[in-house]
Amino acid sequence: MVNKVYKINTNKNNNGSKHNQVLMSIVVCMPILAYGTAMGWISPNKALLMGDLSPSDKPSSEEEVSWMASIMFIFAPIAVFIYGVAADKFGRKNALLCASIPIAIGWAVKLICAHPIALIGARALIGFGSGGGFVVCPLYVKEISEDSIRGMTGTFIIFSQTMGNLLVFVLGDLLPFNAVLWILLAIPLLHFCIMLRLPETPSYLIKCGKNQETARVLAWLRSLPEDDKSVMEEVDRLVLERTTTEPKFSPKLLFSDKTTVKAFWVALIVNLTREFCGCIAVLVYASHIFAEAGKDPSSSIALSPNKQSILLAAVQIIGSFLACQLVDRTGRKPLLSLSSILAAVSMCLLGIWFYLQSIEKYLPGWVPIVALCLCIFADATALQPLPFVIMTEMFNFQLRGTVATLIMAISLGTDFALLKLFAPLNNWIGYHSTFWIFSFICLANVFYLFFKVPETKMRSLEDIYADLEGRNKKEPKENVENHV
């Protein structure tokens, strides 16, 4: 069956290639691309939805737009648990196919009706599908990638999100309201059609006892003959892993071991730091922030808020591309630490800008632009992609789905709270205080990374857990097979 879909190279002298793994990782992450378009959709359309030319019968209120921005993050955590269980029970591929369906329905609803209630409901559907994508995509990409490129392919998840942000900002600035929606609807439909022709992950095929099909898929992914020695060795390794670890959603199993609990808290805190660094709020409300920053005519620059948002998204793309190049060269901790420092400096500078503006003293108009670009660059380079990479590298096949489900549910729930409270918090303590809080969190993350987070680049679970336990790697460890 696999041979009918995938052309396997039978050249015995072939040394293999990683092209199929890279291309497949890009396709797999299309639900995250759709999430990026949905997350950024509010920014270029907020003024239209609240204005006299609203596509609805009446302009949307600030409260309704706030719900549109945050509703995705209520339903996404619910979806994370459902898709997490589905990925282990029915397979990564089937779970991803089902993720595209609610996303497509959501965009279709927006096309049919632009009433605020309909838009809120549509974004709830998109959030549900995106939540499934966020828990399944990292698992799928991890399980099809060789160790030498798993850091790079892991960054594709956030690269896809940033591409979605840029796409929707550009489309929103150039095309009519409905034309943009038709394009965004095409993304989940295209993903669904392509995924029908792609294979299940080798790890899950082994779980199902399909050893021969596993060899065929691995041969196609590695561009090697099916009977190549390295393919046979990888199948044997997966079979051994399958006999010692059965994947299932089991928080009880996760929390039954002290070391895996430590690993879970490390992965969770690293992921939550990204949520609290402020970059999500900046992206969703980018146009509004730029409009606030440019209220004084003498301090603004000759770019509309939407075009300034496009600039931010372009910076995201550059940062994401750089992450793909650096993550497997520099290691996870150095890149994360440097990015946290850059984000802290940029958020502090934004706080200074808004504080001076509140007392009617103004810095040059390029200051908030540079600060926001620096923050978004740091976020795209490491703060967004690397927590996903670390999360998948710190756990074995048995626990990976459980951990991804729990962490993504908590992270997406945190996104909802942050976006819902961002505007009220600014009204209460001011933009300057909000950005200073973000800056402090980024700075605190540097110390946490230095003292608590182990390096995971090209390391075995035994070595990673040895760091977590504070013992010498060479010392014997009882029951180490429970971790690997």
Mean pLDDT of all residues in 37-60: 84
Residue 152 has pLDDT above 90, yes or no: no
Residue 323 has pLDDT above 80, yes or no: no
Cβ atoms 401, 90 nearer than 8 A? no
Task: State the Cα–Cα distance between residues 116 and 20, nearest whole angstrom.
Answer: 43
In the structure, what pLDDT confidence band is assigned to residue 473 with cuts at 50, 70 and 90? very low
The amino acid at residue 80 is V
Query: Which pair of structure tokens corresponds to residue 349?
Result: 């500078």
Residue 484 has pLDDT above 50, yes or no: no
The closest alpha carbon to 93, from 37, 8, 31, 22, belongs to 31
Cβ neighbours around 117 below 10 Å, total: 11
Residue 483 has pLDDT above 60, yes or no: no
CATH of domain 15-198+245-469: 1.20.1250.20
Between 22 and 423, where is the model more confident?
A: 22
Mean pLDDT, the chain, whole residue set? 81
The closest alpha carbon to 464, from 447, 446, 452, belongs to 452
CA atoms in the 13 A half-sphere facing the CB of 317: 13
Task: State the Cα–Cα distance between residues 120 and 65, nearest whole angstrom.
Answer: 8
Query: Which pair of structure tokens corresponds to residue 284?
Result: 């969703």
Query: What three-state secondary structure class fits 188?
Result: helix
Residue 324 has pLDDT above 50, yes or no: yes
pLDDT digits (tens, 9 = 90+) for 408-437: 778 877 877 777 777 788 788 888 898 899
DSSP tag of 383: I
Cβ atoms 194, 24 nearer than 8 A? no
DSSP tag of 53: T
Cβ atoms 49, 206 nearer than 8 A? no
Between 412 and 455, where is the model more confident?
A: 455
The closest alpha carbon to 306, from 156, 175, 126, belongs to 175
In the structure, what pLDDT confidence band is assigned to residue 300 with cuts at 50, 70 and 90? low
In the structure, what pLDDT confidence band is assigned to residue 296 with cuts at 50, 70 and 90? low
Q: Which of 32-41, 183-192, 220-229, 342-351 is least confident?
A: 220-229
Mean pLDDT of all residues in 201-206: 87
Cβ neighbours around 35 below 10 Å, total: 28
Task: State the Cα–Cα distance between residues 349 and 340, nearest whole angstrom.
Answer: 14
The closest alpha carbon to 124, from 71, 199, 172, 174, belongs to 71
In the structure, what pLDDT confidence band is assigned to residue 297 with cuts at 50, 70 and 90? low
DSSP tag of 104: H
In the structure, what pLDDT confidence band is assigned to residue 139 with cuts at 50, 70 and 90? confident
Cβ neighbours around 47 below 10 Å, total: 15
Residue 83 has pLDDT above 80, yes or no: yes
Task: State the Cα–Cα distance between residues 301 and 475, nearest whole angstrom.
Answer: 61
Residue written as tokens 């110390």? Answer: 447
Residue 206 has pLDDT above 60, yes or no: yes
Q: Which pLDDT value is given to residue 3?
A: 42
Query: Which pair of structure tokens corresponds to residue 240?
Result: 């051994």
- Domain layout of the chain by residue ranges: 15-198+245-469
Cβ atoms 214, 235 nearer than 8 A? yes
Residue 298 has pLDDT above 60, yes or no: no
Burial class (CB in 10 A: 0-12, 13-18, 19+), 421: middle
Mean pLDDT of all residues in 49-58: 84
Between 111 and 7, where is the model more confident?
A: 111
**Angle at alpha carbon of residue 109, lines to 106 and 113, rounded to 5°:** 145
**What are the backbone dihedrals phi and psi of residue 225, each rounded to the nearest 5 degrees, phi first?**
-65, 150
Task: Name the packing angle between helices 385-393 and 332-358 (round to 10°).
Answer: 150
Q: Which pLDDT value is given to residue 8?
A: 44
Task: State the Cα–Cα distance between residues 392 and 143, nearest whole angstrom.
Answer: 10
Q: Which pLDDT value is given to residue 14?
A: 56
The closest alpha carbon to 412, from 187, 28, 84, belongs to 84
Mean pLDDT of all residues in 21-37: 90
Residue written as tokens 């997966």? Answer: 238
